[in-house]
């Protein structure tokens, strides 16, 4: 059995082609592999698990049905929330037949551990973003936000996205990238495993020298600017693959 990793699909009603591509991937490459991990930002926005049953927005229900079909066919699925869909919860995971993963999560394999993360927590040079990240992940903030009516949450999220896009235009890509210092601290905390993450939309394979040991950092590709890509782990080896 192979293990596949993807992230940053940013599914929304405005990107139906990406959604169709994802459904084909679930029925094809993912089902053939048997195990799939989605490392954040499956959705462009997620306002709470009650959005699944909103008749006015069928995307959530359609994605859930596709994920459920994958797991009911025998596939193993892990979902790690990202910065866009950090409100994904236990109800969504249960109905999808998936495991909802903490960030980070250490995945033990027969050939050694892999450390899975979304990646935004490692962008420590961007202090404003890290402050916002701490705020929206606070349990008190989360509880208060989810108590609001869904339509109100939708309006608030639209305003936050607009504000975020405005702020990002004034930031360099280097400021919004992960830092070596944060990465090395995380790797040391988990015993220097290979790290796989998304978030930055800058797919690459990096090597770091940490305490005399060479460690790899695999950055997953987003699906918003190209046909999409996944990383495969098979027999102790990682490799990149473009979608058919």
DSSP structural state of residue 102: P
Where is the binding site for substrate, in residues?
Answer: 83-84, 126, 164, 168, 171, 199
As given in the structure block, the two tokens for residue 34 are 């048997």
Report d(CA 221, CA 224) in Å as an integer: 9
As given in the structure block, the two tokens for residue 177 are 């990238």
pLDDT of residue 163: 74
Average pLDDT, the chain: 94
pLDDT at 171 exceeding the cut of 80: no
Report d(CA 90, CA 98) in Å as an integer: 9
Res. 202 pLDDT band, cuts 50 70 90: very high
As given in the structure block, the two tokens for residue 162 are 């607009």
Sign of CA dihedral 174, 17, 197, 39: positive
> Lowest-confidence range among 12-21, 175-184, 220-229?
220-229
Res. 114 pLDDT band, cuts 50 70 90: very high
Where is the binding site, in residues?
Answer: 8, 10, 41, 83-84, 118, 126, 164, 168, 171, 199, 201
As given in the structure block, the two tokens for residue 191 are 């015993």
**Structure confidence by residue, pLDDT tens digits, 120-138:** 999 999 999 999 999 999 9
The residues, ordered by sequence, that sit 6+ positions from 71 with a Cβ below 8 Å of its Cβ are 77, 96, 97, 98
User: Residue 12: what are its φ and ψ, rounded to 5°?
Assistant: -155, 170
Report d(CA 107, CA 47) in Å as an integer: 28
pLDDT at 65 exceeding the cut of 80: yes
pLDDT at 198 exceeding the cut of 80: yes
Report d(CA 182, CA 194) in Å as an integer: 15
pLDDT of residue 102: 97
Where is the binding site for Mn(2+), in residues?
Answer: 8, 10, 41, 83, 118, 199, 201
pLDDT at 32 exceeding the cut of 90: yes
Res. 77 pLDDT band, cuts 50 70 90: very high
Is residue 232 within 8 A of residue 4, CB to CB? The reply is yes
């Amino acid at each position: 059995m192979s293990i596949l990793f993807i992230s940053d699909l940013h599914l929304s009603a405005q990107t139906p082609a990406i959604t169709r591509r994802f459904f084909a991937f679930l029925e094809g490459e993912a089902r053939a592999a048997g195990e799939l991990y989605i490392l954040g930002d499956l959705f462009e926005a997620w306002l709470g698990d009650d959005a699944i049953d909103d008749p006015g927005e069928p995307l959530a229900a359609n994605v859930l049905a596709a994920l459920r079909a994958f797991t009911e066919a025998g596939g193993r699925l892990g979902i790690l929330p990202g910065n866009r869909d950090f409100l994904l919860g236990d109800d969504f995971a249960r109905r999808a037949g998936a495991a909802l993963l903490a960030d980070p999560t250490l995945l033990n394999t027969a050939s050694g551990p892999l450390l899975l993360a979304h990646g935004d927590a490692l962008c420590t040079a961007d202090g404003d973003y890290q402050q916002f990240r701490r705020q929206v992940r606070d349990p008190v903030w989360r509880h208060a936000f989810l108590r609001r009516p869904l339509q109100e949450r939708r309006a608030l999220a639209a305003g936050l996205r607009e504000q975020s896009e405005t702020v990002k235009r004034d930031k360099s890509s280097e400021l919004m990238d992960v830092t070596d210092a944060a990465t090395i601290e995380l790797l040391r905390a988990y015993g220097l495993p290979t790290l796989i993450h998304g978030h930055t939309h800058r797919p690459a394979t990096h090597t770091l020298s940490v305490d005399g040991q060479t460690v790899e950092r695999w950055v997953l590709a987003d699906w918003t600017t190209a046909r999409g890509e996944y990383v495969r782990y098979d027999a102790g080896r990682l490799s990149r693959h473009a979608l058919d």
